Amino acid sequence: MSSVATTGAAQPFPTGFLFGGATAANQFEGGFNEDGRGLANVDLCPAGSAREAVITGHLSSLSLDPAQHYPSHLGVDHYHHVEEDIALLAEMGCGVYRFSIAWTRIFPTGKETTPNAAGLAFYDRIVDTCRAHGIEPLVTICHFDCPVHLIDTIGGWRSRQMIDHYLQLCQALFTHFAGRVKYWLTFNEINMIMHAPFLGAGLVFTPGDNEEAVKYQAAHHELVASALATKLAHEIDPNFAVGCMFAAGVAYPFSCRPEDVWAAKQVDRDSYFFIDIQSRGAYPNYALRYLERNNIMPVMEPGDAEILAEHTVDFISFSYYNSRTTADSSTAAEQMSGNLFTTVKNPYLEYSDWGWSIDPLGLRTTVNDIWDRYQKPLFVVENGIGVKDTVNPDGSIDDPQRMRFLRDHLQALKDAIVIDGCDVLGFTCWGPIDLVSASTGEMSKRYGFIYVDRDDQGNGSFARQKKASFDWYAKVIATHGADLSLPDGYEV
């Protein structure tokens, strides 16, 4: 019997806590060449075996290859299903919807000076439909998007000029949506730049590059851009709340061997590095020493330190899919992959079909760690499990694994809030409507309460259909998280 204290039955989440769902333009919208949208890095990421080389910045060409299938091009056709999709979220009772902006819908090459009206009009539809349903929009300004033209001409976030181009996007969005959007996230999973640098920063490496140096330089540019975006947001509308966003997940030491404990601390710091800057306002000493020692200190301009110090975020958001387990290189341990992170197999955990550990208590630990470190409101903006769904002959879809995963993670989150006292604004589960997987490009890795008829080869009608979990999540929201129980026959 575990001695972990947990909330009793029928305990709701605090008043004002927001429940909802999250998507990203490149995995959801489709319409990649409609209404003036320009080509983006995400459009060059094929499904299949070539994907990994592309998203890690080791691709050879910035043009489309007719032999490849690019799942982002049509996504799940949200572009033509906006009202239907948001109505489904509203039917579940969602109080918040997180979505991202496709940069090239607003500035097709990234260098225009006037925003594309059709691009803004598309996001008007999303924001206004949300508002009509009483759903709070939560906007990710950049979720793995970078205009290809900016990669071609200035090397993506290698270049400091990206800061101005990004701020121009922010200026257009903040002025256009002032009064209609409150919550903004500057960059999705900013730490992903170290693991998937083409997605995270439009970085393409050439032979001879010191890849780590290039990544830290690009990260510095994004961090300055994020701070300046926060400044701009507060100037344009003092009611805006600006958050950072990182891929979180506590790193456990594989054993209590001090070298394993030390290795785990380093993995945690790799993620916290970004948030230490975005939330505390300065490069932490451990990072400065590391960058100096390895001769990869990014070029910083006079005034950067002040910008970072003066414009820290209002809240901290993060994705949590799994914990990580880390061993020193001299410890013999089996390797696993999880959300583009390589970790060691944790013998106490079960794993999804894609090798991601399943660890609800790890969410509680993660929330506590982040709260202890920063003392700013938190927002869990991604959580969920990718599983294969089967449509039964009668058209119904049973998804007990998804319900159990979310029940256990919501319970852990509730415990972190109610028992441990962490301040959390809300929870948006990942992909409430099925969408394309970021890491693999598959459709068959599904997260949704709503099934989309689309397969890995690009076949299907895009028709939406509720799964068993749809009514379950609606019940969770209706009871404000007091009733997390599964339907009869599903309880385990």
Would you count residue 101 as binding ligand BGP (CB under 6 A)?
no
Exposure on the CB side of residue 402, measured as CA atoms within 13 A? 29
Would you count residue 438 as binding ligand BGP (CB under 6 A)?
yes
Rounded Cα–Cα distance for residues 368 and 318 (Å) = 13
Exposure on the CB side of residue 104, measured as CA atoms within 13 A? 26
Would you count residue 319 as binding ligand BGP (CB under 6 A)?
yes
| Cβ atoms 447, 429 nearer than 8 A | yes
| Cβ atoms 6, 409 nearer than 8 A | no
Would you count residue 430 as binding ligand BGP (CB under 6 A)?
yes
Nearer to ligand BGP, 187 or 283 (CB): 187
Here the tokens at position 162 are 């990206």
Would you count residue 364 as binding ligand BGP (CB under 6 A)?
no
Would you count residue 226 as binding ligand BGP (CB under 6 A)?
no
Would you count residue 399 as binding ligand BGP (CB under 6 A)?
no
Would you count residue 446 as binding ligand BGP (CB under 6 A)?
no
Of 485, 463, 429, 486, the closest CA to residue 23 belongs to 429
Is 382 an active-site residue?
yes
Window of 281-289, 404-412, 438-446, 467-475 that interacts with ligand BGP by CB under 6 A:
438-446
Window of 47-55, 113-121, 360-368, 433-441 that interacts with ligand BGP by CB under 6 A:
433-441
CB of 47 to ligand BGP, least distance (A): 12
| Cβ atoms 247, 339 nearer than 8 A | yes
Would you count residue 188 as binding ligand BGP (CB under 6 A)?
yes
Exposure on the CB side of residue 430, measured as CA atoms within 13 A? 24
Nearer to ligand BGP, 54 or 291 (CB): 54
The binder of ligand BGP chosen from 243, 386, 432, 481 (CB under 6 A): 386
Rounded Cα–Cα distance for residues 448 and 419 (Å) = 29
CB of 384 to ligand BGP, least distance (A): 7
Would you count residue 343 as binding ligand BGP (CB under 6 A)?
no
Got the DSSP string for 14-67?
Answer: PTT-EEEEE--HHHHT--TTSTTPPPBGGGG--SSTTHHHHHTT--S-SS--TT
Instruction: List residues bridging with 315 in a β-sheet.
Output: 243
Q: Which 237-266 residues touch ligand BGP, going by CB under 6 A? A: 247
Would you count residue 382 as binding ligand BGP (CB under 6 A)?
yes
Window of 212-220, 225-233, 396-404, 439-447 that interacts with ligand BGP by CB under 6 A:
439-447
Here the tokens at position 348 are 């106490």
Residue 340 Rama label (left phi>0; alpha psi -120 to 50; beta)? left
Nearer to ligand BGP, 276 or 382 (CB): 382
Nearer to ligand BGP, 107 or 354 (CB): 354
The binder of ligand BGP chosen from 72, 278, 437, 469 (CB under 6 A): 437
| Helix, coil or strand: residue 302 | coil
Length of the chain: 492
Would you count residue 439 as binding ligand BGP (CB under 6 A)?
yes
Nearer to ligand BGP, 145 or 415 (CB): 145
Q: Annotated catalytic residue: which of 189, 222, 382, 442?
A: 382
CA angle centred on 184, ends 57 and 288, rounded to 5°: 55
Write out the E strands in 161-230.
Answer: 183-185
Would you count residue 40 as binding ligand BGP (CB under 6 A)?
no
CB of 441 to ligand BGP, least distance (A): 9
Rounded Cα–Cα distance for residues 216 and 300 (Å) = 11
CB of 178 to ligand BGP, least distance (A): 26
Nearer to ligand BGP, 85 or 382 (CB): 382
Rounded Cα–Cα distance for residues 272 and 134 (Å) = 34
Would you count residue 339 as binding ligand BGP (CB under 6 A)?
yes
Number of residues forming the site for ligand BGP (CB under 6 A): 15
Window of 106-114, 310-318, 398-406, 432-440 that interacts with ligand BGP by CB under 6 A:
432-440
CA angle centred on 409, ends 427 and 89, rounded to 5°: 40
Rounded Cα–Cα distance for residues 246 and 315 (Å) = 12
Nearer to ligand BGP, 163 or 247 (CB): 247
Provide the greatest CA pair distance for the chain: 65
Rounded Cα–Cα distance for residues 276 and 170 (Å) = 23
Nearer to ligand BGP, 170 or 438 (CB): 438
Nearer to ligand BGP, 116 or 319 (CB): 319
Residue numbers of the site for ligand BGP (CB under 6 A)? 24, 27, 188-189, 247, 319, 339, 382, 386, 430, 437-440, 445
Active-site residue numbers?
Answer: 382
